[in-house]
Amino acid sequence: MRLVRSLACAALVAVVSAAALAQTTPTRLRGTISAIDANTVTIATREGNSVNVRLADNWAVALVAPLTMADIRQGSFVGIASTGSDADRTALEVLVFPEAMKGANEGHYPWDLQPESMMTNATVTTVAGAGDGQTLKLDYKGGGTQTIKVKPGTPIVTFLPGERSDAKVGAKVFVGAAKAADGTLSAGRLNVGKDGLTPPM
């Protein structure tokens, strides 16, 4: 029962955080924690600079944990960063959302994982074999649809509930931070790679 409550609480935090960030374009930070205390985390970003992020009083941690293609099935709600054209799109990574996060940031929109990459948060309607992997057909609100190829070796992950102790120096993180008018950044949630994993989003 305690685990169930923890999962539900973590999922609720995730949904609230996602909904808040959906209202404005967040500053997405990818990198490694170089310092952290109860109020601030410092991230050494993949671009080579160091960024301070103020943490909310109730800040939480979600672990980014690996899955396999077998964990993706019809009805799964996923977030896929991809490149290519809508006629020939290939996944860079796949995030399988926990059930409680179904519908989070649903749609198809620009992403900054790589130049000209896109993000599709949608429901899997078809999983089909392909010559070099699997093909997922995705449907999202407004009648939108995308077909995305997932090649072998593509990172596939999900969110698990974490503890603040998981957000330690050296941990790999992905953070969607809100930027204030004065340029300061703040966040209520840190997405931390489980067991040293680099969050692929």
User: Domains, the chain, ranges and CATH?
Assistant: 2-65+159-192 (2.40.50.140), 66-157 (no CATH)
pTM above 0.95, yes or no: no
Q: Report pLDDT digits (tens) over 16-27.
A: 444 333 345 789
Q: What is the pLDDT of residue 16?
A: 40
Q: Which residue, among 79, 86, 197, 71, has the nearest Cα to 134 in the 3D structure? A: 71
Q: What is the pLDDT of residue 8?
A: 42
Q: Report pLDDT digits (tens) over 151-196.
A: 999 999 999 999 999 999 999 999 999 999 999 999 999 999 999 9
Q: Report pLDDT digits (tens) over 27-41.
A: 999 999 999 998 999
